[in-house]
């Protein structure tokens, strides 16, 4: 094959391993074979790197990393599809930086900041974007229940560990479950508002652009891990917004994107309240299957999934 060799990295050592595998497989299948040659690489749950044939690239995790670097050296660009810690948090970006291989998506600092929900709140508030009132917790027994709250790990994705706590009896178990995934947990006020996602793309052809906003419609409760993947949530694209609401959400998304130092692509999630947008979180490498939110958002704006991937790769190069 004469196409540009693209290393597509999936898997990872966190609770989003299977989600990352799905993103990577979908990307490999969607890349235009006339232009690109996909080179799939997988990080196992134990840290071992696997090649396209599923075999380890070395006799130990460290040795397999050396094998993976040899594969990366044969590629023009990397598409890092590892969501969550030890991937989306800047870890893979740092590896690519050290290896001298261009990569799609945000650089090290932006990935690390955006993965840390507490740091993201501080950055957003500093540039005038509201976030939910909350506190940082490291001890499950040190929190006093003072009304319904949302409990979430500081650094986890796909809504793993997120729980809506309605009663005092639910609080400590929710905190302990979140602390199983991270040593720091956010306890936030429950917001009343519509869940609206905004995707930002650094388009090499059209410049920075915002895709059609997406509204997540669920029944009672949260858009949690189960709801996210069981098909019960409804995605409304484009979200039914006034011009004023659309501009406020887009401006807030771009402000946070720039303040964090994001690059390439990000999904910025909001609650649209009666008082305007309130930031929920930022995903610097969101789910990237054809059925995921970001590809659907850009497809609704006329940018098909393979073309979105093409723009990401060309922007990285």
Mean pLDDT, all residues of the chain: 93
Given 3-state DSSP classes, what are the helix, strand and coil percentages for the chain, each rounded to the nearest 5?
35, 25, 40
Q: How much is the pTM?
A: 0.91
**Tens-digit pLDDT profile for residues 16-36:** 999 999 999 999 999 999 999
Average pLDDT over every residue of 232-250: 95
Quote the pLDDT of residue 13.
95
Phi and psi, residue 8, nearest 5°:
-110, 110
In CATH, which superfamily holds the domain spanning 134-189?
A: ATP-grasp fold, A domain (3.30.1490.20)
Residue 227 has pLDDT above 60, yes or no: no
Residue 232 has pLDDT above 90, yes or no: no
The domain ranges of the chain are: 4-103, 112-130+192-316, 134-189
Q: State which fold the 4-103 domain adopts.
A: Rossmann fold (3.40.50)
Q: In this predicted structure, which of 216-225, 272-281, 295-304 has the lowest mean pLDDT?
A: 216-225
Residue 225 has pLDDT above 60, yes or no: no
Residues 6+ apart with CB under 8 A from 110: 90, 260, 261, 262, 263, 284
**Tens-digit pLDDT profile for residues 85-103:** 999 999 999 999 999 999 9
Residues 6+ apart with CB under 8 A from 243: none
Place of tokens 């940018």: 303
Residue 105 has pLDDT above 60, yes or no: yes
Equal fold, 4-103 vs 134-189: no
Place of tokens 């609770």: 15
Share above pLDDT 90 across residues of the chain, in percent, rounded to a whole number: 89
CATH architecture of 112-130+192-316: 2-Layer Sandwich (3.30)
Quote the pLDDT of residue 231.
59
């Amino acid at each position: 094959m004469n196409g540009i060799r693209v290393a597509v990295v999936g898997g990872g050592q966190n609770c989003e391993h299977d989600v990352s595998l799905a993103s990577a497989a979908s990307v490999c299948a969607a890349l235009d074979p006339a232009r690109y040659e996909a080179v799939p690489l997988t990080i196992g749950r134990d840290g071992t790197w696997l090649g396209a044939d599923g075999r380890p690239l070395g006799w130990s995790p460290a040795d397999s990393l050396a094998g993976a670097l040899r594969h990366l050296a044969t590629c023009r660009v990397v598409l890092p599809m590892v969501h969550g810690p030890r991937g989306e948090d800047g870890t893979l970006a740092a590896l690519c930086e050290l290896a001298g291989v261009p990569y799609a998506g945000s650089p090290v600092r932006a990935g690390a900041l955006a993965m840390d929900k507490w740091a993201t709140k501080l950055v957003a508030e500093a540039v005038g974007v509201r976030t939910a009132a909350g506190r940082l917790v490291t001890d499950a027994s040190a929190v006093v229940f003072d009304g319904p709250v949302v409990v979430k790990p500081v650094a986890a994705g796909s809504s793993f560990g997120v729980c809506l706590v309605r009663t005092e009896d639910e609080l400590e178990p929710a905190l302990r479950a979140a602390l199983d995934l991270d040593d720091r947990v956010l306890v936030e006020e429950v917001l009343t508002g519509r869940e609206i996602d905004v995707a930002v793309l650094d388009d090499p052809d059209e410049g920075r652009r915002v895709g059609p906003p997406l509204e997540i419609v669920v029944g009672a409760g949260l858009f949690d891990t189960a709801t996210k993947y069981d098909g019960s949530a409804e995605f409304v694209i484009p979200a039914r917004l006034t011009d004023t609401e659309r501009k406020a959400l887009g401006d807030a998304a771009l402000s946070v994107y720039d303040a964090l130092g994001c690059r390439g692509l990000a999904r910025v999630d909001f609650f649209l309240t009666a008082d305007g947008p309130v930031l929920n979180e930022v995903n610097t490498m969101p789910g990237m299957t054809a059925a995921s939110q970001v590809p659907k958002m850009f497809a609704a704006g006329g940018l098909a999934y393979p073309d979105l991937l093409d723009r990401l790769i060309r922007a990285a190069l």
